[in-house]
Amino acid sequence: RLHVVTWNVGTASPPPDVTSLLQLNSLGPTMDMYAIGLQEVNSRITNFLSDLAFDDPWSIFFMAVLSPLGYIKLSSVRMQGLLLLIFVKHVHLPFVRDVHTNYIRTGLYGYWGNKGGVAVRMSLYGHTVCFINCHLTAHMENTEQRLDDFERILEMQFEEENIPSILNHDVLFWFGDLNFRIADYGIHFVRESINNKRYNLLWEKDQLNMAKKKEEFLKEFIEGPLQFKPTYKFDLYSELYDTSEKKRKPAWTDRILWRVRNLCQHPSNESEFSEEERTISVTLDNYVSHMSYGISDHKPVTGTFGLEVKPLLSDPLVTLHPEGEWSTERDVLISYSAVPEFPSSAWDWIGLFKVAFRHVNDYVTYAWVEDDEISSNKDSKQVYMSAAEIPDTGGEFLLCYYSNNLQSIVGISQPFQIQPNGTLIEKNLTQEENSWMQKPDNLESHGEF
């Protein structure tokens, strides 16, 4: 289950709660992956430079929400106001490989990053998947410019060798503030149609729908029905369309589309696919806007998808586990084994992570697989980790094997407990006893009992 979010946040700070936006209160199965595309993230020069050195407030916010639920930030890419975040559940990490990012500017002839696209691609259980978050040129009259810019974005190349072009990925998700408007109809007709929930009257004049009928490169993209109100432009913190002097015409500027490559190559009836060809399929479960969010003049849009894949990878490249009972009072051992074809490196490392870790660099400590190796045979290897590096308080942890060659986590252990330092426990108990002893014994005179 994949949940895609697109939201032009209008330089605002994160809202207090995103439970409904991320479908966290859904009664169905939990999501396996989130792709969150934001536009107009605060990109003043001072903010942008500090965000390059540290995580930006939106990334920190979503990590704080999702990491306690068992998701880690797999990847992110930022270009001025464009931000794309990918979160994935721990269990899938060993099967998500070859993660790469890129971006392309289209604003001001490519010299300024206020418009353009940011992309994250990966291999997911052996299938290639790409996500593109776009912010295209604004205004009614710029349809052709939007189409030209998107064609340029689709030509973006990833620098690494053996990475397919964007359109050669098995599945491509395209979303963002695409800025397509409703042509021809006047503002009164558009608003009246919206008030009467007769959205179908507006579909045929939606510039993206019209372009999809004409442009070959768009015909391959699929979108769910627009059964929600146009998401632009609203007065802040309201569900009222623009009441300013400009009174901008409402539009479905915020969209989520997708493209499955084998459907493009085999345009005939789906029932004619052989089992071998139907190795990945995408179904749209939900395509909605979220009217309760009012921090910007756009309402966020989400798409919930089912990705059904025939796994081309079934076993992790590395399996690992802690040896015996772990305690903070002594050095500990990690056992791991790798499949024969695993491209190991002297720069590989095994990290100790709290269960609710946020991203790959959020480790508590780590051991180099070569420098800290203490034994090796054809079946497995052992690495030691110093007790001095383990938190005295103990708790629940995970071990992850990071591959330098693949730039990703390729093995993850089951959660396990580390026993806290006994001396620390005694010290804490003594402090609690002393604190209790120092409390006044004449509580009755203070009306406590």
Would you say residue 299 has pLDDT above 60?
Answer: yes
Give the chain's mean pLDDT.
89
CB 300, CB 289: distance < 8 Å: yes
At residue 428, the pLDDT reads: 54
What CATH number should be reported for the domain whose range is 318-427? 2.60.40.2840
What is the average pLDDT across 407-426?
85
Would you say residue 111 has pLDDT above 70?
Answer: no
Peptide linkage before 233 cis (omega within 30 of 0): yes
At residue 44, the pLDDT reads: 66
Who has greater pLDDT, 30 or 442? 30
At residue 92, the pLDDT reads: 96
- Tens of pLDDT, residue by residue over 181-230, are 999 999 999 999 999 999 999 999 999 999 999 999 999 999 999 999 99
Distance CA 205, CA 196 (A): 17
Would you say residue 83 has pLDDT above 80?
Answer: yes
Phi-psi region of 312 (alpha: psi -120 to 50; beta: other; left: phi over 0): alpha
Protein fold of 2-309: Deoxyribonuclease I; Chain A (3.60.10)
Where is average pLDDT lowest: 106-110, 155-159, 378-382? 106-110
Domain boundaries, the chain: 2-309, 318-427
At residue 443, the pLDDT reads: 40
Cβ neighbours of 228 (radius 10 Å): 17
Distance CA 39, CA 342 (A): 39
Cβ neighbours of 44 (radius 10 Å): 11
At residue 423, the pLDDT reads: 63
What is the average pLDDT across 302-331?
93
What is the average pLDDT across 98-127?
85
pTM here? 0.89
Please state the length of the chain.
449
At residue 422, the pLDDT reads: 73
Would you say residue 13 has pLDDT above 70?
Answer: yes
At residue 277, the pLDDT reads: 53
Tokens at residue 90, please? 């721990």
Cβ neighbours of 428 (radius 10 Å): 12
436 confidence band (pLDDT: 50, 70, 90): low
What is the average pLDDT across 334-346?
95
